[in-house]
A and B are shown apart, each in its own frame.
Chain A
Amino acid sequence: MRCHDLNDLEATISSKVWLGLVFALSCMLVSVVHAESGKLREKGSLYVEAASTSATAGSVDAGVTVELLERKGFWVKLKAPAVTGWTKISNVAVEQGSGGGTGLTALASGRSGANNSSSTAGGRGLGGDEIKAAAPNRAALESLGKLAVGSDEAAQFAREAGLQSKDVTYVPAADAKSAKSSKSKT
């Protein structure tokens, strides 16, 4: 193999490795929460993994202040004074505005991140008074109509990313509580 072929091969492998690393990092960090703190609602076990079938990492009393480290589905990883482990997200009471921000998610996604509420968006705020005082902008509505896409184009865009449709049924509101209690028994 000639020298420049080897260089090309090395460059190709190198770029694929980097792409793989970036993708893996993104997958690891997309569900990182933002260093919220809260208190445990009830005394209970923290699990080693995000499943009630996993081993217990230890027990934490109700009211103990914990730091939220990571979310995985409906589970959240907590750091308590003496133990770190997983519990259901509803078992933690978090006060509004308790997020501290880590910057990790912004690094992973290239976006501004959840704790940067100072959006770079222009224009003015959109509160109730502004909405009630507004006059219809029909020209903008016509522009909006031109943004619409067809179902085929949207489906193609979804396929390009590997999205796959699933068959899932709704849960009636009245059944939500019983669904939760039946799950907790497992």
Chain B
Amino acid sequence: MSTQIRSCALLVMVLAASYLSFEDVYAAGKAIPSLSSIPSIPGIGATKPSPAKSNDASTGSTAFDAIKTVTAKESPEEEVESGNIVAASILGAAPLWNNAKAQHYINLVGRHVAQHSERPELIWRFAVLDTPSINAFAFPGGIVFVTRGLYDLLETEDELAAILSHEVVHINRKHQWEVIKQQKLVALGASAALKGDHDAIMAKVASIGTEMISKGLDKSAEYQADREGMVIAGRSGYDASAMLGVMQKLRAQKGDDKSLGLLFATHPAPSDRINALEASATPAIEALVLPSPAAGRLAKYH
């Protein structure tokens, strides 16, 4: 695509944004291919990508410092900090569960699983949120939340690893980050007041992110996370079919259960996910469907 065509495509999006509601823009964003090939907006500058971060844990103390410019280029800092601000918003709605043992445990399992993904260099952070709702969330840059309602439902470490693997795929594939990037570009193009205003940009990213979480990703992204999560769990030494057990548990719940409202509104039906998982199972995966030796360990971390 030539530069002129790219510029036209961006201009059309910006113009459209001035006429459309967020819902319209969001829906359009799902259908728009990645904008990563579109050059940064002239005069606004580009963020220079930095080397990958270290493998070690970090406090993430520079959580909100990098989103100062507007760019369509890939920026690890922007991805991490966008994830940080959206995750912080979720933490404003549901606190971390005050159970240090469980929080450490989910980080050990999650980090092990993430090491078997394509992005082990991220600073992976996992947590259980203290809410009875049943759900799990992924945020750009390596943050994963599992609600206590879901954690309580699980019976084995294999099932926990299955859920964490699913969320790790969302981050690997940048499902949420692509949506946020696109929406942010549209919003910044539509509002001159945002340009250069770091706090306003952060607020906009938080708004985009929470809207995205409440509406969910495209269903194809969820199926991909199931399909590839099954592989990552298997690579990590866990029962590759454990997600089926999780889906059976979700399917056993009453459909009008309030604690499942958001999950069911934003994901394919459990039966459809079970069928898709089975359809994706190659002989190599079917060879990894025995309970792992770690299966019973979950009971000690509750």
Contacts and interface: CB of A to CB of B under 8 A. Distances in A.
B231 interface: yes
Given A30-B155, A133-B93, A137-B92, A158 B112 contact: yes
B285 A168 contact: yes
Contacts of A128: 213-215, 262, 265
A81 interface: no
B48 interface: no
Interface residues of A, number: 89
Given A74-B277, A96-B255, A166-B288, 13 more contacts: A90-B274, A109-B298, A117-B153, A124-B131, A125-B132, A126-B90, A127-B214, A140-B91, A142-B61, A145-B61, A147-B127, A154-B110, A163-B293
A167 interface: yes
* Closest 3 pairs (CB-CB, A-B): A99-B252, A73-B289, A128-B214
Interface in B242-269: 244-245, 248-249, 251-255, 257-262, 265, 269
Contact of A170 (B125, B231, B302): B231
B96 A140 contact: yes
Contact of A135 (B92, B149, B153, B220): B92
B60 A142 contact: yes
B97 to A, nearest CB: 7
B231 A171 contact: yes
B181 interface: no
Nearest to B169: A170
B129 interface: yes
Nearest to A93: B271
Nearest to B153: A114
Nearest to A133: B93
B35 interface: no
B26 interface: no
A147 B293 CA distance: 25
Nearest to B257: A117
A126 B147 contact: yes
B69 interface: no
Interface of B: 55-61, 63-64, 84-85, 87-97, 103-104, 107-112, 115-116, 120, 123-127, 129-135, 143, 147-149, 152-158, 206, 210-211, 213-215, 220, 223-224, 227-228, 231, 234-238, 240-241, 244-245, 248-249, 251-255, 257-262, 265, 269-271, 274-286, 288-299, 302
A143 interface: yes
B148 A136 contact: no
Contacts of B251: 36, 94, 96-99
Interface stretch (A1-9, A10-18, A54-62, A172-180): A172-180
A83 interface: no
20 contacts: A31-B291, A33-B245, A71-B241, A89-B278, A96-B251, A99-B248, A99-B252, A115-B253, A119-B148, A124-B94, A126-B135, A128-B213, A132-B210, A142-B59, A146-B59, A147-B107, A149-B107, A168-B231, A168-B285, A173-B224
Contacts of A99: 248-249, 251-253
Interface string A71-105: 11110000000000000111001101111010001
Interface of A: 23, 26-27, 30-31, 33-34, 36, 71-74, 88-90, 93-94, 96-99, 101, 105-106, 108-138, 140-151, 153-155, 157-158, 161-171, 173, 176-177, 179-180, 183
Given A136-B89, A143-B96, A90 B275 contact: yes
Interface of B (DSSP majority class):
helix
Interface centre among B125, B228, B282, B295, by most chain A C-beta atoms within 10 angstroms, is B282
B110 to A, nearest CB: 8
Most buried by A among B158, B265, B271: B271
A93 B277 CA distance: 15
B152 A154 contact: no
B226 to A, nearest CB: 11
Given A98-B251, A99-B251, A147-B126, A168 B288 contact: yes
